[in-house]
Amino acid sequence: MKLSFRWYGETDPISLQYIRQIPNMRSIVSAVYDVKPGEVWPEESIARMKQQVEENGMLFDIVESVPVPEEIKLGTPNADELIEVYCENIRRCAKYGIKCITYNFMPVFDWTRTQLDKEAADGSTSLVMYWDQMRDLDPLKDDIHLPGWDSSYTQEEIRELISAYGELGEEGLWRNLEIFLKRIIPVAEEVGVRMAIHPDDPPYPIFGIPRIITCEKNLDRLLAIVDSPANSLCLCTGSLGCAKFNDIPKMVRKYSAMDRIAFMHIRQVTLMEDGSFEESGHLSSCGSLDMYEIVKALVETGFDGYVRPDHGRMIWGETGKPGYGLFDRALGAAYINGLFEACEKAEGK
Ligand code: DNO
């Protein structure tokens, strides 16, 4: 496996030098942040990031994310033109050594939580999604700004988007995903990039907006649209794992054996009775997911893709971007290293 760490570029309070000090750290996962979704990434920005990462002894070979503009997901008249821009970004990334590009097809909102700093008994804080807080939110009425959401939308724009997606429905979203994949995957194949779609987080509809990258049946459908390793998954254990209907070790084993996982996001969640969930420390004993079974499934199927520790808690007084501090993600990385070493040795690898 290729161990990686997400870094938000020059404005990230965590230095590349610190990230490099995590044992076995290989790649930086990042993106160009100085353009809006739907714009072409300046080559100088990609080149600059590559140079900074390499100066710090790591590789910049994986991108998260090239965002998919809403117009593509909605299939508006300019979608075609925007897909062309997307293809150009794939080509540009490949030119600078990128091997894997992460993206998602979630309407309007990326990941959804109700609180970013829920304090646990040990004084650490983490991101949570509590249904009793969620039920009180109405994006059509309230002026809500949750993390992971594009805060540049006005309330009016959000309302229009939500109603447009309501009309589009799940099948409409599938249709637009199919159009998108059939255009971008041949380009990715040609330039040697694997596209890794991130599952919807959480993997069920929120506020009545369709969400389709959610469960095994739908992942099968997605992979069949273009049957190529360039059309792969970013299998996020915490996103898929916050629905009880997803058996994560089983899904990891199946898609890894098919060579359709390009990127693994490894993180832990604690599921609650009513479907609420809390993000917790990476260890199996800290939450609902069996991390040993997940890594064992990867090792036994010969997984050779990218892995990153995902959201960490805030610990040791660290402040910063929720989910993306240094300390707990570094603990996650150390744990992931340990699991891989143990599973690989058990396999005689
Ligand atoms: C959350 C991340 C997601 C992910 C995008 C990929 O922390 O895992 O925001 O980067 O969904 O496009």
Residue tagged active-site, from 96, 103, 255, 324: 324
Catalytic residue flag (residue 324): yes
The pLDDT-based confidence of 277 (bands split at 50, 70, 90) is very high
Beta bridge partners of 271: 277
pTM: 0.96
Beta bridge partners of 5: 28
Cβ of residue 110 lying under 6 Å from some atom of ligand 1: yes
Q: Give the per-residue pLDDT at 68.
A: 96
Domain locations in the chain as residue ranges: 2-107+170-268+287-311+320-346
The pLDDT-based confidence of 110 (bands split at 50, 70, 90) is confident
- Torsional class of 118: left (φ above 0), alpha (ψ -120 to 50), beta (otherwise): beta
Residue tagged active-site, from 100, 236, 242, 343: 236
What ligand 1 atom has the least distance to the C-alpha of 239?
A: 8
What distance in angstroms lies between residue 198's CA and the mean position of ligand 1's atoms?
7
Q: Give the per-residue pLDDT at 133.
A: 85
Catalytic residue flag (residue 282): no
Q: Give the per-residue pLDDT at 139.
A: 74
Q: Give the per-residue pLDDT at 134.
A: 84
What ligand 1 atom has the least distance to the C-alpha of 106?
A: 11
The helix-helix angle for 291-300 and 327-346 (nearest 10°) equals: 50
Cβ of residue 148 lying under 6 Å from some atom of ligand 1: yes
- Mean pLDDT value across the chain: 95
What distance in angstroms lies between residue 110's CA and the mean position of ligand 1's atoms?
7
What's the CA gap between 269 and 247, in Å, rounded?
A: 13
Place of tokens 């503009």: 69
Cβ of residue 238 lying under 6 Å from some atom of ligand 1: no
Q: What is the pLDDT of residues 43-96, one digit of tens each?
A: 999 999 999 999 999 999 999 999 999 999 999 999 999 999 999 999 999 999
Extract the runs of DSSP E, i.e. beta strands, from 162-260. 194-198, 231-236
The pLDDT-based confidence of 205 (bands split at 50, 70, 90) is confident
Cα 109 to Cα 42, 145, 205, 284, 317: the distances in Å are 25, 10, 11, 29, 29
What's the CA gap between 287 and 271, in Å, rounded?
A: 8
Cβ of residue 279 lying under 6 Å from some atom of ligand 1: no
Mean pLDDT of 170-177: 98
What's the CA gap between 222 and 213, in Å, rounded?
A: 8
Mean pLDDT of 295-306: 98
Mean pLDDT of 212-228: 98
What distance in angstroms lies between residue 220's CA and the mean position of ligand 1's atoms?
21
pLDDT at 281 over 70: yes
Residue of minimum CA distance from atom 7 in ligand 1: 311
Q: Which CATH class is domain 2-107+170-268+287-311+320-346?
A: alpha beta
Q: Which amino acid is at 56?
A: N
Ligand 1 pocket test, pick from 64, 129, 232 with the greatest ligand atom count within 8 Å of Cβ, gives 64
Extract the runs of DSSP E, i.e. beta strands, from 125-166. 125-129
Cβ of residue 64 lying under 6 Å from some atom of ligand 1: yes
Residue tagged active-site, from 286, 310, 328, 335: 310
Beta bridge partners of 232: 196
Residue 309 contacts residue 332 (beta carbons within 8 Å): yes
Mean pLDDT of 108-117: 88
Q: Give the per-residue pLDDT at 151.
A: 66
Catalytic residue flag (residue 236): yes
- Sheet of strand 268-271, all strands in order from the earlier edge strand to the far edge: 115-119, 125-129, 277-280, 268-271
